[in-house]
Amino acid sequence: MASNFDKMINRKGTGSIKWDAVKEVFGTEDILPMWVADMDFPVAQEITEAIRKRLEHPIFGYTKPWKSVINSVVERVKRKYDWKIKPEWVVFTPGVVPAISTAIKAFSSPGDEVILQGPVYYPFWDAIRENGCHIANNRLKLENGKYVMDYEDLKNKFAPKKLLFPEPSGVKIAILCNPHNPGGRMWSKEEQQKFGEIVLKHNAVVISDEIHSEIVLSDKKHIPFASISKEFEQNSITCLSPSKTFNIAGFSVSSIIIPNEKLRTEFVRATGHMLGKVSVLSLVALESAYREGDKWLSELLSYLKENLEFLLKYFEENIPEVKVIKPEGTYLVWLDFRKLGMNGKELSEFLIEKAKVGLDDGYLFGPSGEGFARINIACPRSVLKEGLSRIAKAVKEIGSDIV
């Protein structure tokens, strides 16, 4: 039976951060939440059934990942990306952000630098600072409505510091976000090749966040950074998870692929007692998603593509003042409100107080996110239409003041 993504499911009262924390996040209850990256769609029935079956066993103790769950990751990576990985490379963690924070702890020391490509997912900024490191912001360039990498600036990030006695670069890690959140770029092999060659030339480790890799809304193909060459494979860690793809973020499970044994050992050691273990139900959900979720995923992608086309057409016809950065991947869309002439705080207040929609503030994604906001289109089309109509009405009301 085909999935019904048009059906509106009431999530209030379920502990949903997206819906139940509206007042805490936005300061008022009368907001339509279209922010945090989870979907307002029911998960695949196969996942629900797998969890129900496991619940028939009455004991839920400490869990060691079993052979078939590990193999489900190995097999999916091969099937999806033609990248052959080994079971021992897979390390399970309760989320990608905790894994990235752990990797920063493992591969750098306080005072070192970590490269980000802003505007980029805001928890990355915190993960760097919380480990006592400094951010080296290799800002992306927005050219003709599309983000591209600034390779010259990337090279400069590794240049010796210009002191009385020049010191070598303090960059130890570079974080790659692919597909990019919030810009939606799916980096090509050539783009990643140039990025990787610069980073590895200076002996830094690449952390590749590929959590949105299966949400493809274009004719592009996701290419894992580590799959490009053996050198890249041995000097990187790849962060994957079914959480965004299959809407199971609440299960907190990710697979971190670390081919280099030394890096893998350092990563596992850095987890210490701070990074919790993955639960049995989380692993059940992951294996079921990877083995049985493809039909549901195919239907989801078709629906998301239609939502994206609806959004693009709506802005073009009704809110031309706001420019859409068309994503190649992810169900998150980056909106350029700069023509409204507002700073970050003013735009945030406008969206909350006038439009009554809850989006992610662009400035949280870094300095170059000022004047932007991120919207989540993984919702029934009726919700999407309502959110866009609210934005259109609010923009129209200030039309004469737009610069």
CA 145/CA 116 separation, integer angstroms: 20
Please name each of the domains of the chain with its CATH number: 17-44+294-396 (3.90.1150.10), 60-292 (3.40.640.10)
Q: What is the pLDDT along the chain (403 residues), one digit of tens a residue?
A: 678 999 999 999 999 999 999 999 999 999 999 999 999 999 999 999 999 999 999 999 999 999 999 999 999 999 999 999 999 999 999 999 999 999 999 999 999 999 999 999 999 999 999 999 999 999 999 999 999 999 999 999 998 877 666 677 789 999 999 999 999 999 999 999 999 999 999 999 999 999 999 999 999 999 999 999 999 999 999 999 999 999 999 999 999 999 999 999 999 999 987 777 899 999 999 999 999 999 999 999 999 999 999 999 999 999 999 999 999 999 999 999 999 999 999 999 999 999 999 999 999 999 999 999 999 999 999 999 999 999 999 999 987 555 5
The helix (run of H) or strand (run of E) holding residue 98 is helix 96-107
pTM of the full structure: 0.95
3-state secondary structure of 221: coil
Is-contact 331 376, C-beta < 8 A? Answer: yes
CA 101/CA 131 separation, integer angstroms: 7
CA 207/CA 168 separation, integer angstroms: 21
